[in-house]
Chain A
């Protein structure tokens, strides 16, 4: 409990009146005492008529696990032990940095004369790891509004915030992989792949070069060889955990966006019959998970990536990519999630990717910043906005310049916004598979 603004204003007015009495009256002590005494009595009456801070019971519930970047709902049941709930009260949560609330204070207005109310508080899960809700604070005004009554309750609720694999669980990845596995595109692959799949009766319109003459002779009918894209390729995901990946786009950091996309690719790789490995690096190389069949790799990579922390140091691309190169003993699809600021700082990245691209197929994934694009295309033409646009365009130009250099070196580049990252990455993977670039 604490004095409200109304009580502070009242006290200030009383103080001004007291000074006035002291200046005007020869013996105004009694008058001043009467004023202050009346104020004290009013405050005591207000406290006596107001609900006590201990007169409430709260039950809270929160899911134990949530995906980073998603919202988890905190369910609160607030009941009054005696009498009815206040007509209006505010709620505030004390929580770890991994959780964010859209508004710092939630205003609740229960129905008139209700004794209990249920409240759903949306919580944004913004950082991977374990995050806790420590305390719930409540604020409501006393009967005459002279005091803020502030009950609070310890919560001790924990939520495990894990990388977002909702596209995997929802079947979105499976759907996106259908063209490769069983759809129209797969038909084409059957004809264009290099790995034998099956024999089938020759139909009008098939390429005559696919006819297996020896078996046709044995079966006394035309049969054609059907091939499909090669399976059992090696995919290695390289994740930069340096300070540039800590930049936040929307709710999540670039690192979180990259981890979510990497897990989606891992699942897709498993569906595509490939082996997926994982490697992270920052100022120095970190752990390497060797390629394994996709579904087994997924659990391992999911668990490992949940514990990844973004470093505040600059990334050492030379050390990280050289280490990764040394782990790879066969041609692989290496998907690098990384970032750069300008063409100068990207030089080492370009050099090392150029070395790797001699033996491996490199897919470089960069995340576009929508805010940078917004700066470059201002809505108004005030001089400050024009100057910002020029400055942002220079950054964008350097970014394009680096990506152009990488493309000329034979590195595949995917430069997209976070919301299109997973879809774009899966699509590119399907393209690579269908074209047998690995």
Chain B
């Protein structure tokens, strides 16, 4: 026969397993919620408007390129040009992640980037900034529809933030605009987005004209000696743009031209964070230590400092070296203190036990017994305390009554008394005891 209790046990085990699995799931969901932004980022990079393809493509075209990675921190000195796509139309505002599909479709900020980080990035090395063009719908649907475009008016704040307030943007219709940039090499852009050539900012100049406008513009920066390049239409370099016309063949040549001389790689910076590091010379500066530096310790005013220190040390050493009389050896007789040490150690343990009330009760009982024994001789007898109080009462009835009542109260109730009351009663008992002793003689 089967034992029902075993089934009960199994039910409990399976319930525990389910609870454990649910707990793991909740933990997993929490982890996804917390760290799920990376997934969205990767989806953006893989989408038609992402820049996942350009890195391998540049390397294939024999242009050295590095793609950003959250855990790799390349040195700025090792990079020649940064390609920085912007998916944010307001660098001063951090927009939360979209919650619904509709939110994601309508989202104009696909990757938040901080204005300070942006400024730092463009001042570290020459940077090619790709302006935003498409909403999230392009990521979600992959269809370059008119409705997926970010209205040009929405880019006004961004332009102000990145120093292009005076630049005008123009966007073409739903058709491919083609321009032959080299003989036999044509680039094409759908809904081509360009800077208006007639109203370029003063510090900017055209690097690449396109269909009556400016596709790539170089802007000087005051603080650093290299310009920042703005590409009006990110489709020139993103995943789907590279597959159009001869864009793929043109982009390596363009980036190679923009990075200037040198073999430093192009850095495709997909991260809104500052991943690059700067090698600061002052942190790694090696100081040469020679005799001259050491000799400075013996120049004025150190010479007088050392001389004064030596004088002080000499006088102190002299005073310490000569004794007046023998050494003090301290306690010679350890055994004579052993009993005192034993008493205090035992008393300390009594205090630590936290039984002050019972201790006081015992103290009062013993003291009363001692008084009685000294009155009536050393022989033990019945009810000796009561007889002693009767003896005292013959001389001072009031004192005997108060003393007896208080002693009895302490003996019976000291263990349950609050600490303040215990101390108060004990002090009162002690004062009465002094009066009793004056009648009776020393305890």
The answer to whether A384 touches B347, judged by C-beta atoms less than 8 angstroms apart, is yes
Task: Kindly state whether residue A387 has any CB partner on chain B within 8 Å.
Answer: yes
The answer to whether A97 touches B332, judged by C-beta atoms less than 8 angstroms apart, is yes
Task: Kindly state whether residue B318 has any CB partner on chain A within 8 Å.
Answer: yes
- Considering only residues 12-50 of chain A, those with a C-beta below 8 Å from chain B are 12, 14-15, 18-19, 21-23, 27-29, 32, 36
The answer to whether A248 touches B335, judged by C-beta atoms less than 8 angstroms apart, is yes
A contact residues around B308 at 8 Å (CB):
14-15, 18-19, 32, 36
A150 to B342, CA, bound (A): 43
The answer to whether A11 touches B315, judged by C-beta atoms less than 8 angstroms apart, is yes
The answer to whether B325 touches A104, judged by C-beta atoms less than 8 angstroms apart, is yes
B contact residues around A390 at 8 Å (CB):
347, 350, 359, 362-363, 366
Q: A148-B324, A248-B336, A384-B347 are in contact. Are A11 and B363 (CB under 8 A)?
A: no
B contact residues around A387 at 8 Å (CB):
347-348, 350-351, 359
The answer to whether B336 touches A247, judged by C-beta atoms less than 8 angstroms apart, is yes
Q: A11-B312, A390-B363 are in contact. Are A372 and B339 (CB under 8 A)?
A: yes
The answer to whether A94 touches B301, judged by C-beta atoms less than 8 angstroms apart, is no
Question: Which of B36-44, B151-159, B397-405, B422-430 lies at the binding interface?
Answer: B422-430
Task: Kindly state whether residue B221 has any CB partner on chain A within 8 Å.
Answer: no
Task: Kindly state whether residue B304 has any CB partner on chain A within 8 Å.
Answer: yes
B contact residues around A148 at 8 Å (CB):
324
In whole Å, how far is A154's beta carbon from the nearest beta carbon of chain B?
13
A375 to B343, CA, bound (A): 9
Question: Which of A1-9, A206-214, A353-361 lies at the binding interface?
Answer: A1-9
- Considering only residues 388-428 of chain B, those with a C-beta below 8 Å from chain A are 423, 426-427
A117 to B372, CA, bound (A): 59
The answer to whether B325 touches A21, judged by C-beta atoms less than 8 angstroms apart, is no
Task: Kindly state whether residue A139 has any CB partner on chain B within 8 Å.
Answer: yes
Chain B binding surface SS class: helix
- Considering only residues 86-111 of chain B, those with a C-beta below 8 Å from chain A are none
The answer to whether B347 touches A388, judged by C-beta atoms less than 8 angstroms apart, is yes
The answer to whether A377 touches B443, judged by C-beta atoms less than 8 angstroms apart, is yes
In whole Å, how far is B261's beta carbon from the nearest beta carbon of chain A?
54
- Considering only residues 264-297 of chain A, those with a C-beta below 8 Å from chain B are none
Task: Kindly state whether residue A369 has any CB partner on chain B within 8 Å.
Answer: yes
In the complex, which residue of chain A has the Cβ closest to the Cβ of B422? A383
Question: Which of A174-182, A327-335, A391-399, A428-436 lies at the binding interface?
Answer: A391-399
Q: A15-B308, A22-B300, A94-B326 are in contact. Are A7 and B359 (CB under 8 A)?
A: no
Task: Kindly state whether residue A233 has any CB partner on chain B within 8 Å.
Answer: no
Task: Kindly state whether residue B316 has any CB partner on chain A within 8 Å.
Answer: yes
A contact residues around B423 at 8 Å (CB):
383
Q: A27-B300, A390-B347 are in contact. Are A8 and B319 (CB under 8 A)?
A: yes
A contact residues around B339 at 8 Å (CB):
247, 369, 371-372, 395
In the complex, which residue of chain B has the Cβ closest to the Cβ of A35? B308
Task: Kindly state whether residue A219 has any CB partner on chain B within 8 Å.
Answer: no
Task: Kindly state whether residue A90 has any CB partner on chain B within 8 Å.
Answer: yes
In whole Å, how far is A37's beta carbon from the nearest beta carbon of chain B?
12
- B358-369 vs A, CB cutoff 8 Å, 1 = contact: the mask equals 011011001100
A contact residues around B340 at 8 Å (CB):
371, 375
Task: Kindly state whether residue B346 has any CB partner on chain A within 8 Å.
Answer: yes
Task: Kindly state whether residue B8 has any CB partner on chain A within 8 Å.
Answer: no
The answer to whether A388 touches B343, judged by C-beta atoms less than 8 angstroms apart, is yes
A contact residues around B336 at 8 Å (CB):
246-248, 253
The answer to whether B325 touches A3, judged by C-beta atoms less than 8 angstroms apart, is no
- Considering only residues 138-187 of chain A, those with a C-beta below 8 Å from chain B are 139, 148, 150
- B361-392 vs A, CB cutoff 8 Å, 1 = contact: the mask equals 01100110000000000000000000000000
Task: Kindly state whether residue A222 has any CB partner on chain B within 8 Å.
Answer: no
In whole Å, how far is A377's beta carbon from the nearest beta carbon of chain B?
5
Task: Kindly state whether residue B45 has any CB partner on chain A within 8 Å.
Answer: no
The answer to whether B429 touches A381, judged by C-beta atoms less than 8 angstroms apart, is yes
How many interface residues does B have (CB within 8 Å)?
49
The answer to whether B301 touches A23, judged by C-beta atoms less than 8 angstroms apart, is yes
The one of A23, A95, A391 that contacts B343, using a Cβ cutoff of 8 Å: A391
In whole Å, how far is B263's beta carbon from the nearest beta carbon of chain A?
56
The answer to whether A29 touches B304, judged by C-beta atoms less than 8 angstroms apart, is yes
A52 to B316, CA, bound (A): 22
In the complex, which residue of chain B has the Cβ closest to the Cβ of A16? B308
The answer to whether B351 touches A150, judged by C-beta atoms less than 8 angstroms apart, is no
A21 to B342, CA, bound (A): 59
Task: Kindly state whether residue A114 has any CB partner on chain B within 8 Å.
Answer: no
In whole Å, how far is A425's beta carbon from the nearest beta carbon of chain B?
20
Task: Kindly state whether residue A389 has any CB partner on chain B within 8 Å.
Answer: yes
In the complex, which residue of chain A has the Cβ closest to the Cβ of B363? A386
The answer to whether B311 touches A36, judged by C-beta atoms less than 8 angstroms apart, is yes
B contact residues around A371 at 8 Å (CB):
339-340
The answer to whether B322 touches A2, judged by C-beta atoms less than 8 angstroms apart, is yes
Task: Kindly state whether residue A92 has any CB partner on chain B within 8 Å.
Answer: yes
The answer to whether B359 touches A386, judged by C-beta atoms less than 8 angstroms apart, is yes
In whole Å, how far is B326's beta carbon from the nearest beta carbon of chain A?
4
In whole Å, how far is A307's beta carbon from the nearest beta carbon of chain B?
20
In whole Å, how far is A43's beta carbon from the nearest beta carbon of chain B?
10
In the complex, which residue of chain A has the Cβ closest to the Cβ of B425? A381
The answer to whether A21 touches B304, judged by C-beta atoms less than 8 angstroms apart, is yes
In the complex, which residue of chain B has the Cβ closest to the Cβ of A7? B315
A104 to B325, CA, bound (A): 9
The answer to whether A15 touches B311, judged by C-beta atoms less than 8 angstroms apart, is yes
The answer to whether A248 touches B333, judged by C-beta atoms less than 8 angstroms apart, is yes
In whole Å, how far is B175's beta carbon from the nearest beta carbon of chain A?
82
The one of B301, B343, B356 that contacts A22, using a Cβ cutoff of 8 Å: B301
Task: Kindly state whether residue A105 has any CB partner on chain B within 8 Å.
Answer: yes
Among B321, B325, B350, B363, the most chain A Cβ lie within 10 Å of the Cβ of B325
Task: Kindly state whether residue A137 has any CB partner on chain B within 8 Å.
Answer: yes
A-B contact pairs, 23 of them (CB 8 A): A2-B318, A7-B315, A8-B319, A15-B308, A15-B312, A19-B305, A21-B301, A22-B304, A23-B301, A29-B303, A32-B304, A32-B308, A104-B328, A137-B324, A247-B335, A369-B339, A375-B343, A387-B348, A387-B351, A390-B350, A390-B359, A390-B366, A391-B350
Known: A29-B300, A371-B339. 15 other contacts (CB 8 A): A3-B319, A18-B304, A18-B305, A21-B304, A22-B301, A22-B302, A135-B326, A139-B324, A148-B324, A243-B335, A246-B336, A372-B339, A375-B343, A387-B347, A390-B347
What residues of chain B have their CB less than 8 Å away from a CB belonging to chain A? 300-305, 307-309, 311-312, 315-316, 318-319, 321-322, 324-326, 328, 332-333, 335-336, 338-340, 342-344, 346-348, 350-351, 356, 359-360, 362-363, 366-367, 423, 426-427, 429-430, 443
